[in-house]
Amino acid sequence: MQGAMRVIGLAFLLCVVWKAEGQMQVKRPRMLLSASDVQHMRESMGKYAPFDQAIDNAKKMLDQAINRPIDVPVPKDAGGYTHEKHKQNYKEMQASGVLFQITGDERYAVFVRDMLLTYAALYPTFGRHPKAASADSGRLFWQTLNETVWMVHVAQAYDCIYDWLKPADRAVIEGKLLRPMASFFTVEHAATIDRVHNHGTWMVAAVGMIGYVLNDKNLVDVALYGTKKDKKSGFVRQMDLLFSPDGYYTEGAYYARYAIMPFVLFAQAIENNQPELQIFEYRNQILKKALSSALQLTDVSGRYIPINDALKEMSILSPESVLATDVTFQRYGGDKGLLGIAQKQGSVSLDGAGLFVARALQGGKGPFEFPYESVEFTDGARGDEGGIGILRSGPVSDQSMLVMKYTAQGMGHGHYDRLGILFYDHGKEILQDYGSARFINVEPKYGGRYLPENDTWAKQTIAHNTVAVDGKSHYSGVYKIAQQNHADRHFFAASDPDLQVMSGKAEGVYKDVSMQRTVAMVCDNTMPNPVIIDVFRIDSKSEHQYDLPFYYMGHLVSTNVPYKACDSVRTKLGSSNGYQHLWKEAEGKAAGSSTVTWLNGGRYYSLVNAADSSTEVLFTRVGASDPNFNLRNEPAVILRRNASSTVFATVLESHGSFDPVEEISFGASGNVKEVKVLASTTEATVIEINGTGSLRWIFAVVNGEASTEASHSIAVGGKTFSWKGNYWLWKK
CB of 526 to a copy of itself, least distance (A): 17
Catalytic residue list contains 434: no
CB of 347 to a copy of itself, least distance (A): 11
Residue window 23-62: x/- pattern of binding to a copy of itself, with contact defined by CB under 8 A: ----------------------------------------
By CB under 8 A, residue 19 contacts a copy of itself: no
CB of 136 to a copy of itself, least distance (A): 19
- Count other Cβ atoms within 10 Å, centred on residue 54: 24
Query: Which of these segments, 137-145, 354-362, 511-519, 625-633, binds a copy of itself (CB under 8 A)?
Result: 625-633
Q: Which of 633, 681, 692, 707 binds a copy of itself (CB under 8 A)?
A: 633
Give the angle subtended at the CA of 545 by the CAs of 548 and 471, to the nearest 5°: 75
Cα–Cα distances in Å, from 636 out to 304, 307, 465, 545?
A: 22, 17, 9, 18
CB closer to a copy of itself, 147 vs 246: 147
Q: Which of 599, 643, 679, 716 binds a copy of itself (CB under 8 A)?
A: 599
Give the C-alpha separation, 323 to 156, whole Å.
14
Q: Which of 195, 231, 382, 572 binds a copy of itself (CB under 8 A)?
A: 572
CB closer to a copy of itself, 103 vs 665: 665
Give the C-alpha separation, 707 to 134, whole Å.
49
By CB under 8 A, residue 705 contacts a copy of itself: no
Q: Which of 208, 448, 578, 670 binds a copy of itself (CB under 8 A)?
A: 448
CB closer to a copy of itself, 483 vs 657: 657
Q: Output the CA torsion sign for 445, 446, 450, 452.
A: negative
Strand order in the sheet with 727-731: 672-680, 684-691, 696-702, 727-731
392 Cβ contact partners less than 8 Å away, ≥ 6 residues apart: 372, 373, 374, 399, 400, 401, 402, 521
Buried b (16+ CB within 10 A) or exposed e, 645-672: ebbbbbbbbbbbebeeeeeeeeeeebbb
- Count other Cβ atoms within 10 Å, centred on residue 426: 18
CB closer to a copy of itself, 33 vs 78: 78
Q: How many residues sit in the footprint of a copy of itself (CB under 8 A)?
A: 56
Pick the catalytic residue from 255, 304, 510, 546.
Answer: 255
Query: Which of these segments, 27-35, 52-60, 417-425, 666-674, binds a copy of itself (CB under 8 A)?
Result: 666-674
By CB under 8 A, residue 234 contacts a copy of itself: no
By CB under 8 A, residue 445 contacts a copy of itself: yes
Q: Which of 12, 18, 666, 730 binds a copy of itself (CB under 8 A)?
A: 666
Are 331 and 280 contacting, i.e. CB atoms less than 8 angstroms apart? yes
Q: Which of 156, 293, 318, 407 binds a copy of itself (CB under 8 A)?
A: 318
Give the C-alpha separation, 485 to 251, whole Å.
14
By CB under 8 A, residue 623 contacts a copy of itself: yes
Q: In 3-state terms, what secondary structure has residue 429?
A: strand
By CB under 8 A, residue 443 contacts a copy of itself: yes
CB of 318 to a copy of itself, least distance (A): 5
Give the C-alpha separation, 70 to 89, whole Å.
9
List beta partners, residue 98: none
Give the C-alpha separation, 227 to 34, whole Å.
28
By CB under 8 A, residue 71 contacts a copy of itself: no
- Count other Cβ atoms within 10 Å, centred on residue 232: 12
Catalytic residue list contains 255: yes
Are 540 and 507 contacting, i.e. CB atoms less than 8 angstroms apart? no
Cα–Cα distances in Å, from 695 out to 595, 692, 716, 731?
A: 17, 6, 20, 8
Q: Which of 24, 187, 396, 440 binds a copy of itself (CB under 8 A)?
A: 440
CB of 64 to a copy of itself, least distance (A): 14
Cα–Cα distances in Å, from 489 out to 326, 400, 408, 504, 506?
A: 33, 22, 11, 4, 9
Which residues are identified as catalytic? 255, 413
Residues that bind a copy of itself (CB under 8 A): 79, 81, 84, 87, 311, 313-315, 317-319, 439-445, 448, 555-558, 565, 567-572, 583, 585-586, 597, 599, 619, 621, 623-629, 632-633, 658, 660-666, 668-669
